[in-house]
Amino acid sequence: MASRVILSLALLVAATAASPNRIVGGNPTTVQEYPWIVQSETMGIFTGVWSQSCAANVLTTRYVVTAAHCYEGLLYEPNLRRIRAGSTYRNTGGVISHVETAINHPTYRHLSGYDGDISVVRLVESLVYTPVVQQSTIASPETVLPPNLPVIHAGWGTTSFHGSSSNVLQDVTIYTIDHQICAERYRTLVPPQDVTENMICAGLLDVGGRDACQGDSGGPLYYKDVTGLTILVGIVSWGHGCANETYPGVSTNVAKYTEWIIQTAV
C-alpha cells in the first residue's frame, strides 16, 4: 500500500456545491500558488539529518493538519518532527517550526487500515502569515464531492513509484472517482482493502499516470470553486502503488472531520 464561520479560531471553513501515499505526472509550481501547504520533516535517528517526509496544511498560526500515519510508529517522537513553511524547495528555505504535539484522530488504527488517517499538529513556534504562508480554507461538514470533479494534489513526493523525491513543489490535476466503483476495485486486491465513507478516491480511472506518491502523505487534495477559492477537501493517505490505472489514490475526506478539526485546533 503504497487540511465556516469559526473566526474566533481563525479557521475558515467554506462550503462547496459540488500504501501510505505518495506527485506523479505533475508540473513544477511555487508556494505562492499554494501558500497553505507546508513540508513535514523528520530527523533521522541515526543520521541526525532533517528531511522532508510528508506534507501538511496550515490551520492557524499554531496548528497544521496532516495524515495520522506521518505522526505515529515505534520510533515516533514529537522532537523528531518539524514543519518548514513558505518554501517552494524541498529541505531548504522558508521558516521552521518544531512540533509540540500531534493529536491523531481517535478512530485511527494503522493495523486495521487507514480510516481516520488525519492529525492536528500543534507547533512550538507560531507561524507568521505572509504572502507564502497562509491559512487554509477547509471543507464544511456538508460538503459532498460528486464524481469527475477536477481536484489538485500538490507536494514534494516522488515522481514515480519508489522513485526520487522532487526538489521543487509539484502539482497535478486529477478527478474524483465514484466511491462505490473505487471501493469495488480495492476489494479485488489480495488481501482486500477497505475504502470507507471517510475517504475520497481521485485519479484518472483506467488511464493512470497522475497521482500523489511517496512523500506526499499528509498533503492536500484541493478543489477550486467557481469563485477561485481553493478549498482543502482531502488529506493524502494511501493507495496501491502510484498513478495506477486500476486503483486510484485515496485521501482522507476532510468534511467528515471538520468539526473535530475545529474542536482540536484551539
H/E segment holding residue 42: strand 37-43
Report pLDDT for 160: 85
Spans of all domains in the chain = 7-29+136-255, 37-135+259-264
Report pLDDT for 17: 34
Report pLDDT for 21: 46
Q: Residue 16 has which C-alpha cell?
A: 462547496
Please identify every residue annotated as catalytic: 69, 117, 217
Q: Residue 84 has which C-alpha cell?
A: 518548514
Q: Compare 6 and 240 and report the one with higher pLDDT.
A: 240
CA pair distance 170, 121, nearest whole angstrom = 23
Report pLDDT for 8: 28
Q: Average pLDDT of the chain?
A: 91
Sequence-separated (6 or more) residues with CB below 8 Å from residue 41: 50, 51, 52, 53, 81, 82, 83, 84, 91
Q: Residue 251 has which C-alpha cell?
A: 485521501
pLDDT in tens, 11-29: 334 433 334 444 899 999 9
Report pLDDT for 23: 82
CA pair distance 179, 145, nearest whole angstrom = 10
% of residues, the chain, pLDDT over 70: 92
Average pLDDT over residues 174-201: 97
Nearest CA to 68 out of 217, 220, 239 is that of 217
Say how many C-beta atoms besides its own lie within 10 A of residue 39's C-beta. Answer: 31
CA pair distance 216, 213, nearest whole angstrom = 6
Q: Is 81 helix (H, G, I), strand (E, B) or coil?
A: strand
pLDDT in tens, 69-127: 999 988 899 999 999 999 999 999 999 999 999 999 999 987 778 999 999 999 999 99
Identical fold at 7-29+136-255 and 37-135+259-264?
A: yes
Nearest CA to 263 out of 103, 133, 150, 144 is that of 103
DSSP 189-211: SSS-----TTEEEEE-TTT---B
Give CA 70 to chain center in angstroms.
10
Q: Helices (DSSP H) in the chain: which residue ranges? A: 179-186, 258-264
CATH architecture of 37-135+259-264: Beta Barrel (2.40)
Write the class of the CATH domain 7-29+136-255: mainly beta
Band of residue 54 on the pLDDT scale cut at 50, 70, 90: very high
Report pLDDT for 214: 93
Q: Residue 159 has which C-alpha cell?
A: 515522481
CA pair distance 195, 200, nearest whole angstrom = 8
pLDDT in tens, 191-241: 999 999 999 999 999 999 999 999 999 999 999 999 999 999 999 999 999
Asked whether the bond before 191 is cis by omega within 30 degrees of 0, the reply is: yes
Looking at the DSSP bridge assignments, the partners of residue 139 are 14
Band of residue 131 on the pLDDT scale cut at 50, 70, 90: very high
Within the chain, how many helices (H) and strands (E) appear? 2, 15
